[in-house]
Amino acid sequence: MKLEKTVANKALLEIDEKIDQLVKKIELLNYVNPLNIESEKEKFFASKYLTDPSFVYPQIDFDKFKLHREFFSMEIERIEDVRLRQLYEDIIYFYSGLIQSIETVGEGKKFYYNSLHSFGTPTENDVDNAKFILHFENDKDTNQFKQRYSVEETEEEFRRYSKRYDFTYNIKHSSKMGAIAMVLNNTKTLVLNSNHTFSENEIGVLTNHEIGVHMVTTMNGLLQPLKIFSHGFPNNVETQEGLAVFSEYMSGNLTIKRLKEIAYRVIAVDSLAKGYSFSKTFRLLFNTYDMEREAAYYLTVRVHRGGGFTK
């Protein structure tokens, strides 16, 4: 698909190109993951789960004020189509909101409210459904959940899975992340948690979720005439995560255990919305819902990182 070379489209393409250059500088996940997750875990466990961790975050490597100014100085009135102009206005406001989130990482409620604005929070119905799921009987086949694959072996499984696609991407390992895997769209990079030992089911879930949906969406977006497709529109997270979980289901990897993991996340984010501290969220998961201690810690990190991350 190509856009005709008209005066109107020239303005659209120029603005789209400029936004593409700016958005590449904004990758929230590069800044919201604490650098000292493991050392703080030891201290937290030693405190008998009473003293909240004190996390340290990466330094911002861009001029946030200048970036805001560049977004809002674009002459989007040059876009003649009213609907497209409104779309790009929404895009600018959305990514400006992400800059605000990055600015306030580690600043408690400031970050939480910016995160809330960008990603929302579970509804009461979501929480009720999550609690209902936690009453399901566990999967009978437990062999697929045994933690047996190193990060290097997991990388090989990802490379094997990805041979079905005609694109390439980078794979990196990191010990400084709350999730066990994530995709950085801006750099076409899959990051695997080097502190984690992966199970067969986790690899099945992650290959279909992270590569089969998130990475495929990014690569498909790069083929479009407008580059914003590769970054995502406002409120695209709901669609992306919904498709990713559906992909897990269609590939036969959406087990009861996986459903419960998602349910725990809903409950953890709900506790954040209710004003729970890190330690209180952890104790809710560990004591009330019988989550394994290590898993409860990493999930609490995932939710409370930055000051409260509702994504």
Residue-wise pLDDT tens digits, 262-306: 999 999 999 999 999 999 999 999 999 999 999 999 999 999 999
Which domains, ranges and CATH numbers included, belong to the chain? Answer: 140-254 (3.30.2010)
> What pLDDT, on a 0 to 100 scale, did the predictor assign at position 118?
86
Ramachandran category for residue 56: left, alpha or beta (phi over 0 → left; psi -120 to 50 → alpha):
beta
End-to-end CA, the chain: 33
- The residue length of the chain stands at 311
Amino acid residing at 139: D
Mean pLDDT for 218-245 is 93
149 against 120, higher pLDDT: 149
Query: How many CB atoms lie under 10 A from the CB of residue 247?
Result: 21
Who contacts 144 (Cβ-Cβ below 8 Å, separation ≥6)? Answer: 199, 200, 201, 204, 255
- Cα 302 from chain centre: 10
pLDDT at residue number 141: 85
Residue 8: pLDDT band with limits 50, 70, 90: low
pLDDT tens, residue by residue, 107-117 = 999 999 999 98
Most distant CA pair in the chain, distance: 66
Residue of 84, 87, 113, 105 lying closest to 26 (CA atoms): 105
The pLDDT, as a whole number, for residue 308 is 97
pLDDT at 178: 81
CA distances to 68, 113, 162, 202, 266 from 100, rounded to whole Å, are: 9, 10, 35, 33, 24
Q: Looking at residue 235, what is its pLDDT?
A: 85
Instruction: Give me the torsion for CA of 175, 177, 183, 185, rounded to 10°.
Output: -110
β-strand pairing of 189-193 with 170-174:
parallel
**Tens digit of each residue's pLDDT (9 = 90 or more) over 190-215:** 999 999 999 999 999 999 999 999 99
pLDDT band at 1 (very low <50, low <70, confident <90, very high): low
Task: For the chain, give the percent of residues with pLDDT over 70.
Answer: 97
C-alpha distances (whole Å) from 90 to each of 71, 93, 231 are 11, 5, 14
pLDDT-based confidence at residue 7 (cuts at 50, 70, 90):
low
Question: d(Cα 92, Cα 78) in Å, to the nearest integer?
Answer: 15
Which pLDDT tens digit goes with each residue over 21-61? 999 888 899 999 999 999 999 999 999 999 999 999 999 98
pTM: predicted TM-score of the whole model, two decimal places: 0.90
Distances in Å between the Cα of 116 and the Cα atoms of 15, 98, 262 are 28, 11, 19
Rounded to whole angstroms, what are the CA distances from 190 to 56, 113, 211? 23, 28, 8
Q: Give strand pairing partners of 172.
A: 191
Predicted pLDDT of residue 300: 97
